[in-house]
Structure 1
């Protein structure tokens, strides 16, 4: 027996019974063999063995009902759909009217169930916009973080904020220097007199029209400043910082299109891309769970905890390898300790190692976790650490030099430098190493 959702709460929304033409009331019967249009019968016609055309009384059937719990006991699927329809009709937060429309639950039960299963549910906790934010966006006239009652900022003439706002003065709704600031100069000598010829009169009218177009452009630029929230730039920037880094980059790239879109349309455009980014990240997370064989969120929590522990262990192994590399050098060991102290204090460490001759030299490269490390032998690993070359790049350079040596029967250093476009000293060390190990031979 399959328990499927009903067509709706209103009995008149359901199709009639094919036997007696009465409106169906759950539970009712659906023929599993007749189709493609559903063949539905009430229980009375089904018990009488009603047959019609191709439908026979011995066909397989399904019992259609929504009287079963979905999210928690005490709430049937029919009541879940009725709750969602009531919230859509009455509005979020209007629980008294929602309970009145449902008729089977109280105001407190409707609010508690909706908040628990549709707002605070862990399945939906990672979505970008909550329902309250959506209602606020729908109710607001504009999407800018500035209200007419707010005191507008008054940046000084030479401040950084004034330069960021292109010299706009919100308290005066004007720019320090207007767009096309000398447009009025073309009008200062124009004087309409009665004895002007028709051509001269038309030219003067054209100059006035040009001046009007410049005034419209000034007003358009001021309107963009007001409509898109640039009146209070710091609030606008604080709002942007709530987005992930990728969405902030998108916001910066799409800022130029705000001049051809309204503020609501532009914000909805950015919000949709932010939601798409969030959904893609959630999909990648779920795909990672499925790839690891996880099929429940309880197992996912354990997986995340074990994953963090594994990453901590990897960092500890990396730190141990760093210590082993510098433990024999007192100066390098002290520098490493200063570096860790700076990291613990939340300061970006600036560590420079010095050789005995006083020249600066970078510490050996840590190969832990780098792709291609397992393909290297011990001598090649030592070379990559000293030269500070990632294993993947070294393998590519090695293969290119081997191919060129086999093609020409030998290889010179100048040919190797022309083939590998990196630092000449690194090329020399790689070339000498491959010659010493017998991988290639000199021409």
Structure 2
């Protein structure tokens, strides 16, 4: 059975009393593969467990002995390395505070002497680095200094991943000068700033703006590299892209650009032939011709859309209204079953149907207008519009209706 420990140093507890082991402690030299560890108290009592017998050979586990130099035990060496890892190299005051057995001068001198300037450790690290470099060189792609370095193919997924570019978003995973905003996070303009301090803060803001301009300039340049051709040339570009690795990037770009230039020339020739056929002899007349042509095409498109709509309308009156006004008026509102309809007279019902206003809302608006008119001794249309927050045309119709009925008076 394996023993799991919560000890921060990773040692399992004592097999006899389950207490945390403190040095020195006893390790059985015959039991395996999992070693039997005992504290001194359990060892003196002759504790036995399964195959472990009290007469087995044993080892005394302790780190209270010097390793690199006298005065520094193995336990203190491990504590020093752990303190440097926790506090950081150079923070000797914190390192000494964590160790509690050595001063900061002793910690610094011992670490620099035995771990930084020690020729044994430096030669060992150098050998490990050479071994790593040789292992990397065996698996690397060989190339001579006179050749171009190996690179991924143009427009491949590997090339985009290496550059951190996302073509779907036309943006990079990380911005150029990605930490430019850090210089502004602690800047705060207050009223009691001196002139020099305020000028310094403004200078930092100007520097940040220049960084943003450079970032935008680089993005614009990258977007230019994302070629956008006309439809005919784009289809050819997509088909020929698979052959780019065969002919090379320069020849491939020349091939595509030449076809794009040919397409532009053919389109320009067709446009000039159209001008000549229409009797145009100057570029000023050509501009007027293009503007009139666009207006004529827009008018033709509107007529086509209107004819498509009217061919499905069977009502002749509605068709005539479409031709005169361009749209149909909304049908009257059906008041059947709406709450508050029984409180309206015939003229109010007709108003709600035409204005398309539910009876409950009309009664609320009417009560608000009557109360305001009674309070002020009269009511103007502007006051009614400020009181009722609905369409101004509906407010005018309700206002005129109540004036006609005598419910309210003008101011």
Structure (1 or 2) with the larger CA radius of gyration: 2
Alignment TM-score, normalising by the size of structure 2: 0.31
Structure with larger RCO (C-alpha < 8 A, sep 6+)? 1
